[in-house]
């Protein structure tokens, strides 16, 4: 980022303008150029405006009146945001913007998140693919405000469907299924796993799994294998009956994970 200057940013934006024939949107430039524009000019629109390029003002997307109620879709969305997604506000001199974004490699995951966002908020999210990755984005200050106000305790005291959808979002993001040597019973390895370094979040997952009657174990380790030195927690589920309970009450939206879970269940024969 340090090598970017106003001059280099201007040259890059002009080059893109000449190539595509119109003022580029944020999605039509590289993420590093977009971030450099914000850092050097204050916003991407200000960078374009300095070159005389057309800018698009952010719209205020008002969400459904009932969107503040913690129901199944909102619980799933919150679970995803606590995992692979994120939501945040951005402020500049003129206005405040809000964004909820998910960037993943599974198309069906991005589509599920987009469908949930639309059903919950009543606002059409943006959806696109770039370099083999899939993006879903909802731009709304109101939506971000609702997400930011959710507390983990609310999920613990919610009904079964809300709890299940929250875990579905969490396991879509940071969970998975291990099934190896399934045709060799003596050497078979089978379990459902979930990993996170947020102790409060893991305790919430633990509490909800208990409420759903799914026994499990929790392990912790410092070296997670991803270069992190934080204490990493792992929630592990073992056993055919518990796999069936997980499949029935939670499951995965991601087909490759759901198919793997079914393969593991059927391997018991």
- Rounded to an integer, the average pLDDT of 2-30 is 87
Q: Identify whether 17 is part of a domain.
A: yes
Select the more confidently predicted residue: 141 or 56. 141
Total domains in the chain come to 3
Q: Identify whether 55 is part of a domain.
A: no
Q: What backbone phi and psi angles, to 5 degrees, belong to 223?
A: -90, 100
Tokens of 98: 């809000």
Q: CB of 161 within 8 A of CB of 207?
A: no
Query: Within this chain, do residues 145 and 232 fall inside the same structural domain, yes or no?
Result: no
Query: Within this chain, do residues 165 and 261 fall inside the same structural domain, yes or no?
Result: yes
Query: Within this chain, do residues 85 and 29 fall inside the same structural domain, yes or no?
Result: no
In the predicted structure, residue 75 carries a pLDDT above the cut 60? yes
In the predicted structure, residue 70 carries a pLDDT above the cut 90? yes
Ranked by mean pLDDT, which of 128-137, 207-216, 221-230 comes out on top?
207-216
Query: Within this chain, do residues 38 and 127 fall inside the same structural domain, yes or no?
Result: no
Tokens of 15: 């080059």
232: how many CB neighbours lie within 10 A of its CB? 18
Tokens of 106: 């599974």
In the predicted structure, residue 230 carries a pLDDT above the cut 80? no
Q: Identify whether 177 is part of a domain.
A: yes
User: Any idea what the CATH number is for the domain that residue 79 is in?
Assistant: 3.10.28.10
Query: Within this chain, do residues 162 and 182 fall inside the same structural domain, yes or no?
Result: yes
Q: State residue 94's pLDDT score.
A: 59
Query: Within this chain, do residues 44 and 92 fall inside the same structural domain, yes or no?
Result: no
Q: Identify whether 60 is part of a domain.
A: no
| CB-based burial, 125-137: b 16+ in 10 Å, e otherwise | bebeeeeeebbbb
In the predicted structure, residue 13 carries a pLDDT above the cut 60? yes
Residue 191: strand, helix, or coil: strand
Residues 6+ apart with CB under 8 A from 31: none
Query: Within this chain, do residues 83 and 128 fall inside the same structural domain, yes or no?
Result: yes
Residue 15: strand, helix, or coil: helix
Q: Identify whether 180 is part of a domain.
A: yes
- The half-sphere exposure of 92 on its side-chain side, counting CA atoms within 13 A, is 14
Q: Identify whether 238 is part of a domain.
A: yes
Select the more confidently predicted residue: 4 or 201. 201
- Rounded to an integer, the average pLDDT of 253-265 is 97
Residue 151: strand, helix, or coil: coil
Query: Within this chain, do residues 159 and 256 fall inside the same structural domain, yes or no?
Result: yes
In the predicted structure, residue 193 carries a pLDDT above the cut 90? yes
Q: Identify whether 95 is part of a domain.
A: yes
Q: Identify whether 1 is part of a domain.
A: no
Query: Within this chain, do residues 84 and 134 fall inside the same structural domain, yes or no?
Result: yes
- Rounded to an integer, the average pLDDT of 206-223 is 92
Query: Within this chain, do residues 176 and 257 fall inside the same structural domain, yes or no?
Result: yes
**Full domain range(s) for residue 201:** 152-266
In the predicted structure, residue 59 carries a pLDDT above the cut 80? no
Decide: residue 59, CB within 10 A, 0-12 exposed, 13-18 middle, 19+ buried: exposed
196 bridge partner residues: 233
Average pLDDT, the chain: 90
Tell me 58's DSSP state: P
Q: State residue 57's pLDDT score.
A: 58
Angle at the Cα of 177 from the Cα atoms of 264 and 207, rounded to 5 degrees: 115
């Amino acid at each position: 980022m340090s090598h970017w200057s106003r001059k280099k940013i201007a040259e890059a934006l002009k080059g893109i303008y000449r190539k595509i024939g119109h003022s580029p949107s944020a999605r039509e430039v590289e993420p590093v150029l977009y971030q450099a524009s914000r850092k050097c000019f204050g916003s991407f629109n200000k960078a374009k405006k300095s070159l005389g390029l057309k800018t698009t003002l952010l719209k205020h997307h008002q969400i459904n009146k009932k969107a503040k109620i913690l129901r199944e879709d909102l619980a799933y969305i919150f679970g995803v945001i606590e995992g692979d997604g994120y939501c945040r506000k951005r402020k500049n001199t003129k206005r405040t913007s809000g964004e909820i974004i998910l960037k993943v490699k599974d198309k069906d995951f991005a589509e599920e998140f987009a469908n949930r966002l639309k059903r919950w908020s009543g606002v059409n999210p943006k959806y696109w693919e770039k370099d083999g990755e899939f993006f879903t984005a909802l731009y709304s200050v109101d939506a971000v405000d609702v997400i930011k106000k959710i507390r983990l305790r609310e999920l613990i005291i919610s009904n079964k469907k809300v709890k299940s959808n929250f875990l579905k979002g969490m396991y879509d993001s940071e969970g998975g299924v291990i099934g190896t040597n399934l045709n060799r019973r003596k050497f078979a390895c089978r379990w459902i796993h979930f990993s996170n370094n947020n102790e409060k979040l893991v305790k919430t997952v633990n509490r909800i799994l208990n409420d759903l009657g799914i026994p499990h174990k929790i392990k912790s380790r410092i070296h997670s294998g991803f270069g992190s030195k934080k204490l990493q927690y792992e929630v592990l589920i073992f056993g055919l009956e518990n796999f069936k309970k997980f499949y029935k009450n939670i499951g995965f939206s991601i087909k490759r994970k759901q198919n793997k879970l079914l393969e593991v269940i059927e391997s018991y024969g």
